[in-house]
Amino acid sequence: MLIFTYNDYLDCIGNKKILKAIKIESKRNQINKSFKQAQYEQNDTVDKIIDELIKKEAEVANFINDFFKTKNWEINSNTLKKFYIQDKSVIYQYKKREIYFLIKHQKETNYNIAYSVLMECTEFIQNWKTSHLHYKQAPIIVPIIIYTGTEKWNKAKNTYIKYTSFKEYSMNLAYNFINLQNYEMIKLIKNKSLIGSVSLLKMQINKKMKKDIIEFLKREVKYADIYIKIQNIEKTIL
């Protein structure tokens, strides 16, 4: 058993080198703590910006076209209608057809996400049935998980469709998984949607690159509330 005695205490306070080392280490810990807190607040602001962008039809239309190459569908802000919001998911309807995009913004790894998607899809269809009693065409839901966390999500790379089997029911649930960590910076910046560009501010890049991204976002963003949040992030970086 290791112990710290009164004699150790006397030795410590009588040794100037040790006292100096303690002060230096204490100051270093305070700096690290302040940096981590600033980084946490910055990431939290970035996540809030992404949440706001996901609520805007034009951004979601651009995002779908960027990542799913849906030019044949001609998706734009006029063909999407924000239909239903549950918890942190947003659902959009496409072009008055019974095609819906369920979008979840995931900030941390969650290996039970398939169950959440299943519950939300099931609940949405139950609600849909009550208002479409005589409608013959059944709805189609396109679940999309947008992951912007900094921790590695242990899934097969370059695969968007994930399956989960539900034991005795032998049911497969497919959802589209978009891990923005897996895309090159230039690719995300070139996209029409700003969601990927904003997510870069959470990644481990140097201060100059972050400033360049912020200047780019300030030029491109069309929403005053989001512009102010970007400015707040800029202040924490300076």
**What does the domain layout of the chain look like in residue ranges?**
36-237
Contacts of the segment 157-163: beta carbons below 8 A, 24+ positions apart:
157/182, 158/182, 162/114
Return the axis-axis angle of helices 57-68 and 16-54, rounded to nearest 10°: 100
| Radius of gyration for the alpha carbons in the chain, expressed in angstroms and rounded | 24
Cα–Cα distance for residue pair 141/92, rounded to 1 Å: 10
pLDDT at 234: 82
- In degrees rounded to 5, what are phi and psi of residue 56? -110, 125
pLDDT tens figures, 115-147: 788 888 888 888 888 887 777 778 888 899 999
pLDDT at 161: 45
Show the low-confidence residues of the chain (pLDDT under 70): 1-42, 87-88, 155-173, 237-238
Its pTM stands at 0.76
pLDDT at 35: 45
